[in-house]
Amino acid sequence: MAVLNVNGKALDHNAEPDTPLLWVLREQLGLTGTKYGCGISQCGSCTVHVDGVATRSCGVPVSAVADKKIVTVEALAANGTLNKIQQAWVALDVPQCGYCQSGMVMAATALLAANPKPTDADIDAAMTNICRCGTYQQVREAIHAAAKA
């Protein structure tokens, strides 16, 4: 049994140390908001915050984050209130299929925390997540909208 600090709680799991964080979150802790898209740190669907930094959880063995604070998409809304990014996402109807959007929202939340007024170039550099439905235009608009909110 090992313990992981996820969304402010100490949670037990019994995954082998080399198990990617993604699969521990999804299969041991039932946090399926974090998505599997590629497993090789390419697509960003699995983005979570590790000590506040947007991190692709498929590329991180669970043993490497044993003493870190992990936040997943499920914990972004505080007491039922969506965070600024989520609100902008809803206001601008960003998601299409939605499968990439947990990762998008996590990456955008981390971007805004580090850089409250990102330029287009900042967005290009930080938002390397793949969206096959092609929501990029709305993602950009929503980040700017959240920055202004």
Partner 1 sequence: MTIHTSLGRRNFLVSSAAVAGGFSLGFHVPFLDDGEANAQAVKELNAWVVIHPDDKVVIRIARSEMGQGTLTGLCQLVAEELECDWNKVTWEYPTPGENLARNRVWKNFSTGGSRGIRESNQYVREGGAMAREMLIAAAASQWKVPAAECSVANGVITHKDKKLTYGAVAAAAAQLEPPKEVKLKDPKDWKIAGKPLKRLDTVDKVTGKQIYGMDYTMPGMLVATVRACPVIGGKLKSFDAAKAEKMPGVKKILAIDGNAVVVVADTYWHAQSALAAVTSEWDVGELGKVQQATINASLKEGLDATEAFVGNKAGDAKAAIAGAAKKVEATYNFPYQHHVTMEPMNATARYTADKCEVWCGTQNGEAALAAASEASGLPVGKCDVYKLLLGGGFGRRGRSDYVRQAVLVAKEMPGTPIKLIWSREEDMTHCQYHPITMAKLTGGLDAQGNLVGLQIRISGQSILASLLPQNLQNGMDPVVFQGLMQSGVEAAYGYELPNLLVDHAMRNPHITAGFWRGVNVNQNAVYMECFMDELAAAAGQDPLAFRLKYLKPKWAAVLKAACDKAGYGKPLPEGHFHGISQVMGYGSYVAGVAEVSVSPDGTLKIHKITAATNPGHVVNPAQIERQVAGSFVYGLSAALYGEITVKDGVVEQTNFDSYNVMRIDEMPQVETVLVPTHDFWGGVGEPTIAVAAPAVLNAIAKATGKRVRNLPLMNQDLKKGA
Q: How far is the CB of 79 from ligand FES (least distance, A)?
A: 27
From partner 1, ligand FES, none, interface partner of 30 (C-beta below 5 to 8 A by class): partner 1
Tokens 């580090």 belong to which residue? 114
What is the token pair recorded at 23? 């699969």
Q: Which residues bind ligand FES (CB under 6 A)?
A: 36-39, 41-46, 56, 58, 95-101, 131-133, 135
Q: How far is the CB of 144 from ligand FES (least distance, A)?
A: 19
From partner 1, ligand FES, none, interface partner of 77 (C-beta below 5 to 8 A by class): partner 1
From ligand FES, partner 1, none, interface partner of 139 (C-beta below 5 to 8 A by class): partner 1
The yes or no reply on residue 146 touching partner 1 (CB under 8 A) is: no
Query: Could you give the strand order of the β-sheet that contains 9-13, starting from the edge strand earlier in sequence?
Result: 9-13, 2-6, 69-71, 47-50, 53-56
* CA nearest neighbour of 1 among 66, 70, 75: 66
Window 36-75: contact mask with partner 1 (x via CB under 8 A): xxxxx-xx-x--------------------------xxx-
From ligand FES, partner 1, none, interface partner of 56 (C-beta below 5 to 8 A by class): ligand FES
State how far the Cα of 26 lies from the Cα of 29, in Å rounded to an integer.
6
Q: How far is the CB of 23 from partner 1 (least distance, A)?
A: 4
What is the token pair recorded at 35? 């998505």
Cα angle 63-11-108, degrees, rounded to a multiple of 5 = 75
* CA nearest neighbour of 97 among 135, 127, 140: 135
